[in-house]
Amino acid sequence: MKIARLAEAHGLPVTSHGVHDVHVHLLAAAPNAAYLEVHGLGPERFMAQPLQLQDGMTIAPDRPGHGIEFDWAALDAYRVGSA
């Protein structure tokens, strides 16, 4: 958020780069947000409620924290050992 505020002070927009499911919250809080970069890497198949994109738009979820809940059953196929 400090970087977004610094950019805002200089009249610059901010965009995201990386995990869009996390960055959507940061951009929602920044008045100078421009674009949410969305990757098609597939981590949403392991999320109980992935970010919904429709017509190039999305809304940040109102769930607490970063808003990501894992689909543990989907992740079980990749388990390599027990804790």
Query: 38 lies in a domain?
Result: yes
Instruction: Report the number of distinct structural domains present in the chain.
Output: 1
Residue 74 belongs to domain spanning: 2-78
DSSP state of 13: -
Q: Is residue 11 part of a domain?
A: yes
Under DSSP, is residue 40 helix (H, G, I), strand (E, B) or coil? coil
Convert the pLDDT of each residue in 16-73 to its tens digit. Answer: 888 888 888 889 999 999 999 988 777 888 888 888 888 988 888 888 888 888 899 9
> Measured between alpha carbons, how far is 73 from 83 in angstroms, rounded to an integer?
16
Q: Classify 12 as helix, strand or coil.
A: coil
User: Is residue 60, in this structure, part of any structural domain at all?
Assistant: yes
H or E stretch including 35? strand 33-35
| Residue 83 forms part of a structural domain | no
Contact assessment for residue 27 and residue 33, using Cβ atoms and an 8 Å cutoff: yes
Please give the span between the terminal C-alpha atoms of the chain, in angstroms, as a whole number. Answer: 36
Establish if 63 belongs to a structural domain: yes
pLDDT at 83: 61
